[in-house]
Amino acid sequence: MDTRVTDKTARAAYYARMQPRQLMPLWERLHMLVPPAPKPSCAPMLWRYDAEVRPFVMESGSVISAEEAIRRVLILENPALPGSSKVTTSLYAGLQLILPGEVAPSHRHSQSALRFIIEGAGAYTAVDGERTIMHPGDFIITPPWTWHDHGNEGSEPVVWLDGLDLPIAELFDATFAENFPEASQPVTRPAGNSFARYGYNMLPVDYRPAFATAPSPVFSYPYARSREALDKLARDRELDAWEGVKLRYVNPATGSWAMPTIATFLQLLPKGFAGKPTRRTDATVYVCAEGRGRARVGNQAYEFAPRDIFVVPSWTPLSLEAGEDTVLFSYSDRPCQEALGLLREERLGDG
């Protein structure tokens, strides 16, 4: 005799009786927990830096000091994730301002951080006793649990994009932070020391990475060198129909990603480039380093200019076009997805 309960009223009563025991029927939620394809929680978004964002960034300099704020940053919050301080479900983005003569106090935290310099010169970031001077387009990393502070010894404001894996650390309840007893950490190595030791396809003979996915021992990747590589490849090889010329930043000691949780890229789209659409599961943040173009994100089209920032959600088709020679910096959570076997990518429009 079939004794299964098929009456909806009886089922509802059954669910109500079990709820105080923190029990829930999977069959009522399975279609939401295991959908046939990603349903991105974040939305496409473009921040127009010069036209809309920069005035607010500069005004923040008169609202609060770098010392009082610890980090004077305007968060780029995804419109579909209000109140979350997230640019995607797994990543954070913010624009940090430091004025001449200021120091953003030294601290360290368990999250990994990147800096992509947007404008200005004369500022520095210090990581574990070594300073590097910032220039527009430079990519700088702060590995987890390393002391770092920022200062501006120049004559103009300096702004950079901060990218962090804050939501990833929060997912694991593994966030820690500590303030340094002084505003600036002692300088123990001359500028350029880490690049001299690790940046010339050579390593100190006694170098051993702390773990297999350890962050890069080089923490500053100058834009001038990266840009030169893109130009050379654009002249010497056929363009990729989807990406133009695209390179990834690497840890020179291992060949892996420069950061254990965040992938970073730089790509060149020559003038007139019209890329085919692609989609991938790693939601990605893009910054226009130079040039102008158009990003088609799903059913939306965004015209971007230098220093504009836009986000592409997971599994959302993206195609890129360039009205002039254009360079884009981007970052995503690809290393995490690769490690977990989750990454999927599909190139569309190929026949």
pLDDT single digits (tens) 226-253: 999 999 999 998 999 999 999 999 999 9
Q: What is the mean pLDDT of residues 69-81?
A: 98
Per-residue pLDDT band for 39 (boundaries 50, 70, 90) equals: very high
Alpha-carbon distance of 310 to 264, in angstroms, equals 15
Task: Go through the domains of the chain in sequence order and give each one's CATH number.
Answer: 45-347 (2.60.120.10)
Asked if 282 contacts 271 with a C-beta cutoff of 8 angstroms, the reply is no
State the DSSP code for 171. H
Task: Average the pLDDT over 158-168 and give the result.
Answer: 98
Quick check: 350 pLDDT over 80? Answer: no
Residue 4 pLDDT > 70: no
Mean confidence (pLDDT) of the chain:
95
Q: What is the mean pLDDT of residues 5-17?
A: 88
Position 7 scores a pLDDT of 83
Place of tokens 């070594």: 130
Q: Is pLDDT above 80 for 120?
A: yes
**Residue 2 pLDDT exceeds 70:** no
Q: Which two tokens stand for residue 27?
A: 């069959």
Q: Are strands 284-290 and 326-332 parallel, antiparallel or unpaired?
A: antiparallel
Confidence of residue 32 (pLDDT cuts 50, 70, 90): very high
Checking if the pLDDT of 351 tops 60, the result is: no
Residue 213: per-residue pLDDT: 85
5-9, 110-114, 196-200: which has the minimum mean pLDDT? 5-9
pLDDT at 3 over 60: no
Q: What is the mean pLDDT of residues 288-293?
A: 98
In 3D space, the residue among 147, 86, 114 whose CA is nearest the CA of residue 261 turns out to be 114
